[in-house]
């Protein structure tokens, strides 16, 4: 089984902001996938009710 690194950012603000932290994380660690939860991404309700395999496409 290989190791996958997934970057997850949780956003609670309604205003639009750049993802400076996410961009830096991607630059430094080169994750295989990124997920934004909350405003501008997957709604919280969907995140908490969907199996992780479906959300993150992990097999």
More confident residue, 42 or 2: 42
pLDDT of residue 27: 92
Cα 57 from Cα 50, distance rounded (Å): 11
Q: Are 23 and 36 in contact (CB under 8 A)?
A: no
What is the number of structural domains in the chain? Answer: 1
What is the number of other CB atoms lying within 10 angstroms of the CB of residue 13?
Answer: 9
Give the CA count within 13 Å in the CB-facing half-sphere of 19. Answer: 18
Question: pLDDT of 32-59, one tens digit each?
Answer: 888 888 888 889 899 889 887 787 665 4
- Is pTM beyond 0.85? Reply is no
Is the residue at 29 inside a domain? yes
Q: Which domain holds residue 34?
A: 6-11+20-56
Is the residue at 42 inside a domain? yes
Cα 27 from Cα 13, distance rounded (Å): 24
Is the residue at 1 inside a domain? no
């Amino acid at each position: 089984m290989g190791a996958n690194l997934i970057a997850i950012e949780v956003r609670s603000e309604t205003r639009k902001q750049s993802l400076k932290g996410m961009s830096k994380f991607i630059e430094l660690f080169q994750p295989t996938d990124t997920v934004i939860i909350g405003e501008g991404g997957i709604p919280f309700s969907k995140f908490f009710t969907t199996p992780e395999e479906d959300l993150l496409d992990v097999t």
